[in-house]
Amino acid sequence: MSALKNWIPAAVAALTLCALPGCSEKGPTGAPVVKVNGTTITKPELDRAVKTLLAQNRVSQTLPPEQMKKAADAALEQLTSAELLYQEGKKLEIKNLDQMVDQQYQKNRAAFPSKEEYEKALKATGMTEAEVRESMRKEIVVNYFVDKQFSAKATCSDQEARKFYDDNKAKLFQKGERLQASHILVSVDQKGSAEEKNKARAKAEALLKRVQKGEDFAAVAKAESTCPSRVKGGELGIFGKGQMTPPFEQAAFALKPGQISKVVETEFGYHIIKLQERIAPSTDRFEDVKFQIVQYLKMEQTRKAVAAFLTELRHKAKIEKV
């Protein structure tokens, strides 16, 4: 697969403004932050949006006040844009909208193994069931509006796709040597005590001895690893240089197929790495990535059209900070 697959989700994320839980037509609760043509966005809604935005960008630690303010400003900008698009989208007729909202809600709820797990997750969001449904309604309306008014009109010729391929061949479509590997991780907090770190390292060393003596690596990973990859026996898939933290990368690329590393320390804890395969450098053929290129270019065209449309809406809108 081409490196372009990493660009496409970014383009999609730029379009799905309503993925951030936003304002409800059923009456705002909480301190108002901004009014968009009379519709209020509240502080709780902004707080949820900031939390979602940080999660989307994989930010887990607490940010300094200055960066948190930037995150809040970005979230408020997205909530405002989503509300403007929603107000436009409501002008279009969507058949069976209530049914679509209910289907989406039931689908999301079915993803949880039990009613208790669902209610726990709902409580963690700080939203009521009605607010979740309203957020889904808003997302459906906005996506429908964007699809009808912009996505459906996006085009990309074969010549444009080929030019993009030629212009970006070295950056996106030429792949250096890659590895397929598994690992076992013993996590430890980098701010933990020396005793905690020593205990974690000792456990990793003990696990290393077990696999060196012939115990099945995947079985040990499933039983002992603290990485989510444990469900797949520690499988990390295929990765190239620059995709892993430096100590992990250095140790992995030094291995031969079938070899197991010594214990490797990173900011995540202590790893034991097993290399399955080294994959030689290669270049994607245009024919194999043409569909992805066309998809990406159409999304970019749509994103720019939506951005231009939002600029027009903002000039006409009454946006009041309160």
User: Are 267 and 300 in a shared domain?
Assistant: no
Strands (E) in the chain, as ranges, are: 32-36, 39-42, 174-175, 178-187, 235-240, 264-266, 269-279, 282-283, 319-321
User: Are 246 and 313 in a shared domain?
Assistant: no
User: Are 206 and 255 in a shared domain?
Assistant: yes
Residue 186 domain-assigned?
Answer: yes
Within 10 angstroms of residue 123's Cβ, the number of other Cβ atoms is 10
User: Are 206 and 290 in a shared domain?
Assistant: no
User: Are 122 and 21 in a shared domain?
Assistant: yes
Cα 121 to its chain centre, rounded Å, is 18
- Reported as a pLDDT band with limits 50, 70 and 90, residue 62 is confident
- For residue 124, give its domain range: 3-157+286-321
Tokens 């212009």 locate to: 167
Q: Quick check: 193 pLDDT over 60?
A: yes
Residue 126: the pLDDT is 79
Residue 133: the pLDDT is 93
3-state secondary structure at position 33: strand
Residue 22: the pLDDT is 52
User: Are 120 and 50 in a shared domain?
Assistant: yes
Question: pLDDT, tens digit, for every residue of 265-307?
Answer: 999 999 999 999 999 999 999 999 999 999 999 999 999 999 9
Global confidence as pTM: 0.69
User: Encoding tokens for residue 129?
Assistant: 């069931």
Tell me what the pLDDT averaged over the chain comes to: 90
User: Are 266 and 299 in a shared domain?
Assistant: no
Residue 66 domain-assigned?
Answer: yes
**Rounded Cα–Cα distance for residues 41 and 24 (Å):** 8
DSSP 8-state symbol, 192: S
User: Are 51 and 141 in a shared domain?
Assistant: yes
User: Are 145 and 187 in a shared domain?
Assistant: no
What is the rounded end-to-end Cα distance, in angstroms, of the chain? 48
Residue 125 domain-assigned?
Answer: yes
Question: pLDDT, tens digit, for every residue of 84-141?
Answer: 999 999 999 999 999 999 999 999 999 898 999 999 988 888 788 998 999 999 999 9
Q: Quick check: 16 pLDDT over 60?
A: no
CATH code of the domain in which 236 resides = 3.10.50.40
Residue 171 domain-assigned?
Answer: no
Handedness of CA 251, 172, 52, 234 (dihedral sign): negative
User: Are 21 and 140 in a shared domain?
Assistant: yes
Q: Quick check: 2 pLDDT over 70?
A: no
CATH code of the domain in which 131 resides = 1.10.4030.10
Q: Quick check: 80 pLDDT over 50?
A: yes
Give the residue-averaged pLDDT of 298-321. Answer: 96
Residue 14: the pLDDT is 45
Residue 168 domain-assigned?
Answer: no
Give the residue-averaged pLDDT of 42-66. Answer: 83
Helix, strand, coil shares, percent, the chain, to 5? 60, 15, 25
Is 298 in contact with 156 (CB distance < 8 Å)?
yes
User: Are 17 and 136 in a shared domain?
Assistant: yes
Give the residue-averaged pLDDT of 171-183. Answer: 95
Phi, psi for 117 (deg, rounded to 5): -65, -40
Tokens 């081409």 locate to: 2
User: Are 132 and 196 in a shared domain?
Assistant: no
Residue 162 domain-assigned?
Answer: no
Is 151 in contact with 298 (CB distance < 8 Å)?
yes
Residue 169 domain-assigned?
Answer: no
Residue 295 domain-assigned?
Answer: yes
Question: pLDDT, tens digit, for every residue of 232-242?
Answer: 999 999 999 99
What's the total number of domains in the chain?
2
Is 294 in contact with 159 (CB distance < 8 Å)?
no
Q: Quick check: 56 pLDDT over 80?
A: no
